[in-house]
Structure 1
Amino acid sequence: MPSESPAPRRWQALTQALNAVSYEILAFKSTEESVLAHVPRTIALTITTTEAKGLAPTLDLAQRLAGHGYSVAPHLPARLVRDKQQLTDIVAQLRDAGVDGVFVIAGDAAEPAGIFPDALSLLEALDATGHHFRRIGIAGYPEGHGSISQELIDRAIELKSRYATHIVTQLCFDAGTTTAWARRLRERGVGLPIRVGLPGAVTRQKLILISAGLGLGQSARFMKKQQSMLWRFFLPGGYKPDRLVERLAPHIPEPDDNLRGFHFFTFNELLKTESWRRTMLARAGRPAGDPE
């Protein structure tokens, strides 16, 4: 029997990858309505938290979307949590609302609000006090960190991985860099599934805001490191995720890479991002499920 040709395997991998996505959204007043209008309930959501707005809008939106049947994980920045009592209250609040996931990060605050200086300290407190979460995400850095050595970052992920269920990467526009990083992490004994973070179908203006940082995921260090590639945002037609997704998709089924899907930073351009995903799935020969 003839073996399957490379082209069908490639499209099969792309279909698998695009059906294993999650979307990151911002806690704005219009977000709930936009999610209900454009996002299928089969797509998991994370909700960002900013130092300026604090935890309340994120937790409130997470509760409302969970009530609509979405799988939601609010960002929980350690530096915005005062103490163990507040952490216990947050856990109880999310449990009562049926929110079964969180994404734990250090956060961008210059000074901690309380006793948690980093993600690891908060993860340890969660584990010690008990929680109901089935999904706990942590951040990965394929291109490193502007002020922390790669060795320290990798060691931190090793420690945090004991308390987590998956990793979501920060932005990286080079597929080879992402896959090499994932393999190196596996060699260090970190076998958590990895979701590759990349921009959705957003405008070039919003991509530049991503790069500049504004407290919404990427810091200003990204701009300093990636100035040489910003030119692509100004090409005719602007940025599209197609090429990066197609290069990464074949690695999603590969066990040695631990890559298990995509995490799209949508910046609330949900209609554009979901329409793009459906178009890509149609190209691959398999339609997406309709929103409920």
Structure 2
Amino acid sequence: MTSLRTGGTGPAPTRRQALTRALNAISYEILPFRSTEEQVLEHVPTGISMTVTTTEAKGLGPTLDLAQKLTGHGYRVAPHLAARLVRDERHLIDIVAQLREAGVDGIFVIGGDAATPAGGFHDAYTLLDTLDSLGHHFTQIGIGGYPEGHGAISDELIDRAIELKAAYATHIVTQLCFDAGITTAWARKLKRRGVELPVFAGIPGAVSRQKLIRISAGLGLGQSARFLKKQQNMLWRFFLPGGYRPDKLFEGLAPRLAETETNLAGFHLFTFNELEKTEAWRRKLQARLGNGS
């Protein structure tokens, strides 16, 4: 694999172009904490799109509030809309109206982690279908992809669900995966099944190894997370001394953006709110590519 480090041979022009395009197609995922708005304003350019996560513990309120605040600052932000936290059609209508008034024109629809749905929406598909029938203003609707499968749902059901949801969506963002080969193979399989939506590969941002292990293992994100949990003595193979950096995954996936066998279109970085580190990584890589190093 060609190194991006200063003093290396540098990527060939076509590879450099792929890497540059990938950097320009990056978006960030952020967590709705009290300090997040301030961190975004300090470290993230308004040209970078973001999504805001949601959890059962916090509910939809903090997610929607942060998305609206950041939109007011000139960012393009899509809140995660967890179907199992939406009570009923009236609640959904109110959410859509609230986001329309704030100028939020995108959402990312997930099923959510709540064991018991708040109402009649059991999964992302049922919410997407209802949203479509009610009408909405959203120009961007993202749905999730699972290169390593889902711990609680069979691969067959996952494949069928993404085909159904794709009819209502504009793009797919994959769950966190540490293996470029697995993500690429999944994207090829998805296209063979007739799903033509652009796919944005979900990879970690520049995150401390402790935070990455803790969050990944806690989320149960497939074989990559299990490996990290069980083989911590081998972390040196994956993490640089200062912590995890996305270089290897980025380099492995960026050239695939030009392939016709997949619809890979860019990257979505799970920042875990390590915004200063992640943005510094992106800018440093931009500078290296711009200098041809």
Q: Report if TM-score (shorter chain) is over 0.5.
A: yes
User: Would you say the 8 A contact 1:233–1:239 is kept in 2?
Assistant: no
Give the aligned residue type for 1:156: A
Name 1:188's counterpart in structure 2.
Answer: 193
Which of 141, 148, 152 lines up with 1:136 in the alignment? 141
Matched, 1:219 2:224: no
Q: Count residues in correspondence.
A: 279
Name 2:5's counterpart in structure 1.
Answer: none
Q: Give CA-to-partner distance per residue, 1:234-279, whole Å, 9 cap, x none.
A: 5561321101100101011223210111000001111100000011
Matched residues, percent identical?
67
Q: Distance in 2 between matches of 1:80 and 1:121?
A: 13
TM-fit CA distance, 1:148 = 1.7
Matched, 1:201 2:202: no
Name 2:215's counterpart in structure 1.
Answer: 210
Which of 158, 172, 183 lines up with 1:153 in the alignment? 158
TM-fit CA distance, 1:225 = 6.5
Matched, 1:79 2:84: yes
Q: Distance in 2 between matches of 1:147 and 1:61?
A: 30
Q: Describe how 1:23-172 pairs up with structure 2 within 5 A.
A: 23-172=28-177
Name 1:262's counterpart in structure 2.
Answer: 267
User: Would you say the 8 A contact 2:177–2:221 is kept in 1?
Assistant: no
Give the aligned residue type for 1:32: E
Name 1:253's counterpart in structure 2.
Answer: 258
Task: Give the structure-1-normalised TM-score.
Answer: 0.91
TM-fit CA distance, 1:210 = 2.1
User: Would you say the 8 A contact 1:207–1:233 is kept in 2?
Assistant: no
Is there any run of 5+ residues in structure 1 with no aligned partner, and where? 288-292
Look up the SS of the partner of 1:197 in the other structure.
strand
TM-fit CA distance, 1:35 = 0.7
TM-fit CA distance, 1:172 = 1.1
Q: Distance in 2 between matches of 1:231 and 1:26?
A: 29
TM-fit CA distance, 1:286 = 6.5
Change (3 A) 1:255 1:41: farther
Give the aligned residue type for 2:245: K
Give the aligned residue type for 1:49: T
Q: Distance in 1 between matches of 2:254 and 2:187?
A: 14
Task: Answer with 247-256 or 92-101: which moved more.
Answer: 247-256
Q: Distance in 2 between matches of 1:37 and 1:18?
A: 20
Task: Answer with 81-90 or 30-39: which moved more.
Answer: 30-39
Q: Distance in 2 between matches of 1:169 and 1:260?
A: 12
Q: Distance in 1 between matches of 2:291 and 2:31?
A: 29
Is there any run of 5+ residues in structure 2 with no aligned partner, and where? 1-9
User: Would you say the 8 A contact 1:105–1:119 is kept in 2?
Assistant: yes
Name 1:290's counterpart in structure 2.
Answer: none
Task: Give the structure-2-normalised TM-score.
Answer: 0.90
Matched, 1:284 2:262: no
Change (3 A) 1:141 1:103: same
